Structure 1
Amino acid sequence: MNRLELIKELQQTGSFMMNNQLAWGTAGNISARLDNNDFYVSASGTYLGELEYDDFSLCSTDGLVEGKKPSKEFKMHQGIYEQRPEINAVLHASPFYSTLIACSDIDLPNNYFVEAMYYLEKVVRIPYKHPGSVDLAEVVTEHAKEGNVMLLENHGVIVYDVSLKEARMALQTLEYTAKMHITALKNGVNMQGLSNETVHDFIHHSGYKPLRNWGK
């Protein structure tokens, strides 16, 4: 994929997130890998639903290469790309129900339905660090190999995957599952999740999607 195609898909991803209530205001930032060392990330202060071509910064392991000032949280993206060479897209946002769970002591189940079993196989909780801080970037980088979904306590979520398409699906699955779980708790619905054995069998033997290697 060339630069123009990649930026176009990033623009479409930002619109998708806004249109599906997965992001709001100027909160959140998104990125996609261009090559082994470089990635495009949304610039500081941009509105994800109306991203223009020049609303992206090209960054590398050495910092800003060209374009506007990147989101102050670009180092989180950088750390994930460095730790997970197979990852090509990172989405950071604060969708309502997922962020509600990130701000609480509620566990997020992954055994309700097919997509949840796959995309939420491993969800990592990250303790609160100030947004945009070096401390947050360091702890995200440290735990990047442990899963593809992070709940940032009192902040939001990070989802990353092999493509923007897969990352969008993972983020939507995360929010859908969180909404289902909170709704069930609120209404006293007794959810019947699948057993650990069934989840393991599905992930390893159903052929639904490739097995995760978690950066190993």
Structure 2
Amino acid sequence: MTLALFSPREQSLREEIVLVGKLMYERGLIVATDGNISARLDDNTILITPSGLCKGLMTPDQLITIDMAGRKVGQETAANKDLKPTSEITMHLEAFKQRPDVQAVVHAHPPHAIALSIAGISLADCMLPEAIVFLGLTPTTPYATPSSEENARAIREVIAGHDALVLQRHGSLTVGSSPLNAFYRTETLEQIARITYMLNQLGGGQPLPAFQVEKLIQTRQVWGLARAADAADFCEKCGVCHIEGEHTPPSESGLKVVSTPTTSSINGSTADLVQLITERVMRELKR
């Protein structure tokens, strides 16, 4: 391998992407040459997995650097000089274009999520606390031909307001602050799909009542996980219709706030915010 060719940051990212590929493969989220992973190197450069390789057996020097037009750029290696970027390149680039805050994108083929999408069973419901807090309500995009421009169009509107998507009959797309963070969202999505499948085998389940959903939304907001689509999603699916905006912590009297508070408005310090979150978590654990 030729890792000495790369900066310490790029070297670290390459190794993290390889780790994510291995985890996805070992946990059955991809098989054979399925799946693809990408990460930002800078505003104009993306590190991405190659086409036609098993992601569980990749090496760091096989990863490819591309620009935002999808062209190969940067230093080639003996291991990647004859490789092409993933055929899902347009979907990855679309996610980065729609989400300047995102640092990594993961596409996988989680079997339970795919099966439920074919059966017409949505994951966008108010059943599971972990789903509400960590992913919000996960939409399913209309079917689009894999490895085509259709995929980019299918995700364009929804990825702007969500961190996880089910791609109908195809797989999942998750984004995050790092390759591992995006992978964790993929893993969470498939766990939710597995539980949803079990619930349907048992005859279905009862959604959480709105007041319980409100408390989970508060946690989601305080932890900085809220997204632009939350207000519309939770109103339509959960009957919680008095929340606002992206990354907006709850006011003391409820969920609706008109502005994002400064550090001083949360009792004056980051330590107070940490204490607030800790106390809330401990209260929930004692129930």
Taking structure 1 as the reference length, the TM-score comes to 0.89
* 1-structure distance, mates of 2:72, 2:137: 33
Query: 1:147-175 deviations in whole A, cap 9, x for unaligned?
Result: 11111111111111122232122111111
Instruction: Please give the residue correspondences for 1:38-187 in structure 2 after superposition, counting only pairs within 5 Å.
Output: 38-66=45-73, 67=80, 68-187=83-202
Classify 1:207/1:132 alpha carbon distance in 2 versus 1 (closer, same or farther; 3 Å). Answer: closer
Classify 1:39/1:197 alpha carbon distance in 2 versus 1 (closer, same or farther; 3 Å). Answer: farther
Identity across matched positions, percent: 27
Structure 1 vs Structure 2 CA RMSD: 2.1
- Which amino acid is 2:147 matched to? G
SS in structure 1 at match of 2:72: strand
Corresponding residue to 1:27 among 23, 34, 48 = 34
- Which amino acid is 1:195 matched to? P
Which segment drifts farther, 102-111 or 156-165? 102-111
Q: Is the 8 A contact 1:108 1:178 kept in 2?
A: yes
Classify 1:207/1:153 alpha carbon distance in 2 versus 1 (closer, same or farther; 3 Å). Answer: closer
Which structure has the larger Rg? 2
* 1-structure distance, mates of 2:126, 2:184: 17
Q: CA deviation at 1:69?
A: 0.8
Q: What are structure 1's unaligned runs of at least 5 residues?
A: none
Residue 7 of structure 1 corresponds to 14
Residue 202 of structure 1 corresponds to 216
Q: What are structure 2's unaligned runs of at least 5 residues?
A: 1-7, 74-79, 230-245, 247-287
* 1-structure distance, mates of 2:228, 2:44: 19
- Which amino acid is 1:22 matched to? L
Q: Is the 8 A contact 2:10 2:41 kept in 1?
A: yes
* 2-structure distance, mates of 1:95, 1:108: 13
Q: CA deviation at 1:197?
A: 3.3
* 1-structure distance, mates of 2:174, 2:220: 23
Query: 1:78-98 deviations in whole A, cap 9, x for unaligned?
Result: 111111011111111111101
* 1-structure distance, mates of 2:63, 2:226: 29
* 1-structure distance, mates of 2:25, 2:173: 16
SS in structure 2 at match of 1:65: coil
Q: Is the 8 A contact 2:123 2:137 kept in 1?
A: no
Aligned pair count reads: 215
SS in structure 2 at match of 1:51: coil
Taking structure 2 as the reference length, the TM-score comes to 0.69
* 2-structure distance, mates of 1:162, 1:214: 17
Residue 191 of structure 1 corresponds to 205
